Amino acid sequence: MKGFKEGFKTGIPIGLGYFAVAFSLGIAAARAGLTPFQGFLTSFLVNASAGENAAFIAIRESVPYLQMILITVVSNIRYVLMSFALSQKIRPKTAILHRLLLGFYLTDEYFALAVSQEPFCDPFYSYGAISFAAPCWAIGTAFGIIMGNALPFKIVSALSVALYGMFLAIIIPPAKKQKQIAVLIVLSFLSSYLLSTFTPLSESTVTIILTIAVSSLGALLWPVKGETYEE
């Protein structure tokens, strides 16, 4: 229960950020002709803003199902890499049900929380964060559809700053402890900006390329000695 309570507290800023992002996502869903219930159900079953946005655009443009599937896969393919990394942070004897739930709710924010725990991630810590943040995501989408374009888009976008603040709170502490991590973070920021500005690559593709490139560079320059953890 302690892990669940701590995770719940951590999930509050994530949930608030999710609500703001999902609100703007709901506006896109409304333009695609979805009802509030359909938007709620979509966000309840799909935990990916880029994937949902791509799907809503595809629905609005009436693209074929196969093309819609391919667009969604490309938008969310970075989660495959996250799954590989997260599998190394789960205790070997963790039940399959916990593994499936962690995989189902694998988002950038939940992933960052899980891998930041040492030596292994506590599933109940993640469940605590999910129990608050996941409903905010689904409700935010439905509320965005209801409101439509009532609020200026700039106001909605400004609310999503909470998510970036949460990311900074995650990466700054380890960066202070290890200069190598700080260097890799700065390199990631610069590379992301350059690729996003001067190449036609999608956000998901840029994330995949930088994840592989920067992590490989870090492993080559500053390899971590093997560690063993006892159950």
95: left (phi over 0), alpha (psi -120 to 50) or beta: beta
Token reading at 129: 């964060």
Judge if 111 and 205 occupy the same domain. no
**Is the pLDDT reported for residue 182 higher than 70?**
yes
Q: What residues have CB less than 8 Å from 23, skipping those under 6 apart?
A: 140, 141, 143, 144, 147, 156, 159
* Closest to 100 measured CA to CA, from 75, 83, 119: 83
Q: Considering only CA atoms, give the Rg of the chain.
A: 18
Judge if 211 and 139 occupy the same domain. no
Range of the domain at 200: 178-231
Domain count, the chain: 2
Q: Which of 170, 203, 222 is the last residue of a domain?
A: 170
What integer pLDDT is reported at residue 4 of this predicted model? 93
Judge if 35 and 91 occupy the same domain. yes
Judge if 44 and 156 occupy the same domain. yes
Judge if 83 and 132 occupy the same domain. yes
What integer pLDDT is reported at residue 210 of this predicted model? 85
Judge if 100 and 184 occupy the same domain. no
Judge if 135 and 71 occupy the same domain. yes
Judge if 6 and 75 occupy the same domain. yes
Judge if 145 and 189 occupy the same domain. no
Q: Which of 170, 195, 212 is the last residue of a domain?
A: 170
Judge if 221 and 150 occupy the same domain. no
Judge if 157 and 109 occupy the same domain. yes
Q: Which of 170, 193, 215 is the last residue of a domain?
A: 170
Judge if 111 and 197 occupy the same domain. no
Dihedral of alpha carbons 172, 180, 6, 18, sign: positive
**pLDDT tens readout for residues 165-179:** 666 777 888 888 889
In this structure, the chain runs to a length of: 231
**pLDDT tens readout for residues 75-98:** 787 788 888 888 888 988 889 999
**Is the pLDDT reported for residue 220 higher than 80?**
yes
Token reading at 125: 């810590």
